[in-house]
Structure 1
Amino acid sequence: MASSGPVQLAPPSSIRILMRAGLLLLAGLPFADSYAGSSAPPGARMTDRTRLGTLDVPRAAIGTINWVPDDGGPSDARLLATFAEASRVGLNFFDTAERYGASPLSMVGQAARALGLPAGDRPLGGSGEALLGSFARDAPPSVFATKFTPVPWRASADAVVDAARASAARLGSPSLDLYQAHMPDVIQPMRWAGRARAKDEVYWEGLAQCYHAGLVRNVGVSNYGPTLLARCHAYLAERRVPLCSNQICFSLLSRSHGAQRTVDWCAAHGVAVLAYYPLAMGLLTGRWSAQRLPADRGLHRYLLRDGRVDALAPLVAALEAIGAARGCTPAQVALNWVISRGALPVVGVTSPEHVRSLAGALGWRLGDEERTILEAAAGSCGVEFEGSTFRPTNAKFVGYGFEKWELD
């Protein structure tokens, strides 16, 4: 999945950006050679696919961090309908993790256990995997990517193997399509006492053992920057294990702090990039503005950066203009930008309508001029997306606090 790299130009003024986008709209952009509308047409089947290690997948994955079981309630029915619609249109690549579906209580237990306090053996989560496994029983074949959680008490390669077996059982499969380390081993509750010990190589060995045992078909990582990627890539190569993927935050608003450099490193070494938060938690959909703020107050600072009104207005206007010319929504344009830059977006969808909208982002590609306009508009906003209060892009909340990593 090659990346052509960032466009290097000084951000023009907002007025110039809008004029260029408006000219594109007035001129009418040519459609690509397949459907580029606002949603998947009836009977459409996704043909915009790629290779991910040994896997044949669509060029977008469905993120399921918000797929939480409802004990047979309305939410379960809606998510089942979402899964069925995704299978129907060929968007059959689902990203999950053993942590997805975990309760706040499990986080407290994790923190206590990490500090050596008695806390029992509460599971890390797994209900998200189990939900997907139940949906997949009577459905066409799906591709599932899941993740192993580095925690202090997992101190051996065998712990990775055991966790992989548990994930496979919840997903109802003898093996895992793609198994990823969820983050670098940053959870170090005794760091303050000088007793931090990163176990990344231990976990890489566990991934290698899973691969050679046939328990895992492809191996990936998440939230790794170029330095740690190079170490991991070399370690796995010695064990004759290909490093298939790296999942990071990447979008029009998330190109700094090592993200673009990580995408470029991955392109040069044949490692696929899975991009989470490709819509910057909804900021790139055109739905929110300074006049219509989201309920998540942690996102307000992006819309009102440094007290300015509509900080994202130039970028949203460019997305809307290009989308109008192509018959697409701003969100579809933003997702297509991620694809055109060599990454595979992981998109949180929770309804059949979301699935059909996601399908409209595939099957076509932005041109060079369109990408230039979008990147210049993003640069003019003066905003770098770093997540929300309890969902940052460079840290995990682990009960006793946040533990951080840096891509660069």
Structure 2
Amino acid sequence: MAQAEIPDIGMGTYRLKDQEAVAAVSSALSLGYRHIDTAQMYDNEAAVGEAIRRSGVPRDEIFLTTKVWWDRLRHDDLIASLEESVRRLGVEGVDLALIHWPSPGDEVPMSEYIGALAAARDKGLTRHIGVSNFTIAHLDQALSVPGGEHIVTNQIEVHPFLANQALVEACQDLGVTVTGYMPLAVGKVMNQPILHQIAADHDATPAQVALAWVAARGIVPIPSSSQPEHQKANLAALDLTLSDEAMARIEHLDVGERIANPGFAPRWDE
């Protein structure tokens, strides 16, 4: 199985646009983030690229991820879309290119778009390839088609209210790193009493506890924040060590609450 040195925490940029995105990514890089996650659908690749250029951080020190939207999965269109992403970002290539969602209804064959992603890797548009929002069945299929041997990660929704345990374990058993998006459940963790209790015991915030829980499971969290103080706190969460009891208490918060669940989503694993 392919391996990539994906930094332990990333800066997500979903919903950040224009100058807000430039400011947020600039702040994150100045604080020490070296993993920036964007996507074609976020419509902020140009802003992310501007922030990277302004930062003064050498390009080879930044792990940059983008994603191909589900309407551009045909072979030639996928290659063209990544060429556009690289151009908007102002880089020679990204470090990781993901399929953002599996083809709705499997309209585009898995072999076609995984093969195209591998071809983009061969062309130097990306160093690594991966997938996002893939179920266990989708991941098994993706790994079995030509090019699938290069897949390094499955980026999925993970937070205390959606542990996604079966899928996480399946990925890890297959040697595929799990990247966890929405690890703070879009701020909902801040209002959870048990997380508040655990946070008080550690002189931390509920958000830090949630991120520490995700990281302790061997998952790379990519929280999104435009506030420098929150970004700094999110980085510090990796230094928090939770007891087995605290981990178990958080695991009991799992109610399968899925936030990212559009109409074209696949049939999720239970």
- Measured after TM superposition, the shift of residue 172 of structure 1 is 1.0
User: In the aligned structure 2, how far is the partner of 1:405 from the partner of 1:277?
Assistant: 18
User: In the aligned structure 1, how far is the partner of 2:261 from the partner of 2:23?
Assistant: 33
- Measured after TM superposition, the shift of residue 394 of structure 1 is 2.6
Q: 1:264 to 1:156 in 2, by over 3 A?
A: same
User: What residue number does 2:76 align with?
Assistant: 158
User: What residue number does 1:131 align with?
Assistant: 47
- Measured after TM superposition, the shift of residue 200 of structure 1 is 2.5
1:67 equivalent to 2:16? Answer yes
> Relative contact order, CA 8 A, sep 6+: which one is greater?
1
- Measured after TM superposition, the shift of residue 155 of structure 1 is 6.2
Q: Decide which structure has the larger Cα Rg and report it.
A: 1
User: In the aligned structure 1, how far is the partner of 2:251 from the partner of 2:70?
Assistant: 35
User: In the aligned structure 1, how far is the partner of 2:26 from the partner of 2:73?
Assistant: 39
User: What residue number does 1:181 align with?
Assistant: 99
Q: Which amino acid aligns with 1:157?
A: H
User: In the aligned structure 1, how far is the partner of 2:73 from the partner of 2:209?
Assistant: 44
Q: 1:276 to 1:155 in 2, by over 3 A?
A: closer
Q: TM-score under structure 2 normalisation?
A: 0.91
**More helix, by proportion:** 2
> Aligned match of 2:243 in 358, 367, 378?
367
User: In the aligned structure 2, how far is the partner of 1:60 from the partner of 1:386?
Assistant: 21
1:341-361 alpha-carbon deviations (Å, 9 max, x no partner): 121112111121221121121
Q: Name the Cα RMSD after superposition.
A: 1.9
Paired-residue identity, %: 29
1:208–1:241 Cα contact (<8 Å) kept: no
User: What residue number does 2:261 align with?
Assistant: 394
Q: How does 1:9-408 map to 2 (within 5 A)?
A: 53-57=3-7, 59-69=8-18, 76=19, 79-101=21-43, 128-139=44-55, 140=57, 141=59, 142-151=62-71, 154=72, 156-186=74-104, 197-235=107-145, 238-239=146-147, 241-255=149-163, 259-286=164-191, 316-376=192-252, 378=253, 383-387=255-259, 393-395=260-262, 402-408=263-269
3-state secondary structure, aligned to 2:17: coil
Q: TM-score under structure 1 normalisation?
A: 0.61
User: In the aligned structure 2, how far is the partner of 1:64 from the partner of 1:339?
Assistant: 19
1:298-324 alpha-carbon deviations (Å, 9 max, x no partner): xxxxxxxxxxxxxxxxxx222112111
3-state secondary structure, aligned to 1:245: strand
User: In the aligned structure 1, how far is the partner of 2:90 from the partner of 2:234?
Assistant: 26
1:46-100 alpha-carbon deviations (Å, 9 max, x no partner): xxxxxx943351x22111112111xxxxxx2x54443233112321211111111
User: In the aligned structure 2, how far is the partner of 1:385 from the partner of 1:171?
Assistant: 33
User: In the aligned structure 2, how far is the partner of 1:79 from the partner of 1:96?
Assistant: 10
- Measured after TM superposition, the shift of residue 165 of structure 1 is 0.9
Unaligned 5+ segments in structure 1 are 1-51, 70-75, 102-127, 189-195, 287-315, 388-392, 396-401
3-state secondary structure, aligned to 2:222: strand
User: In the aligned structure 1, how far is the partner of 2:30 from the partner of 2:74?
Assistant: 41
User: In the aligned structure 1, how far is the partner of 2:236 from the partner of 2:109?
Assistant: 42
User: In the aligned structure 2, how far is the partner of 1:80 from the partner of 1:352?
Assistant: 13
Segments of 4+ moved more than 3 angstroms? 52-56, 78-81, 238-241
User: In the aligned structure 2, how far is the partner of 1:219 from the partner of 1:155?
Assistant: 14
3-state secondary structure, aligned to 2:121: helix
Q: Which amino acid aligns with 1:282?
A: G
1:245–1:274 Cα contact (<8 Å) kept: yes
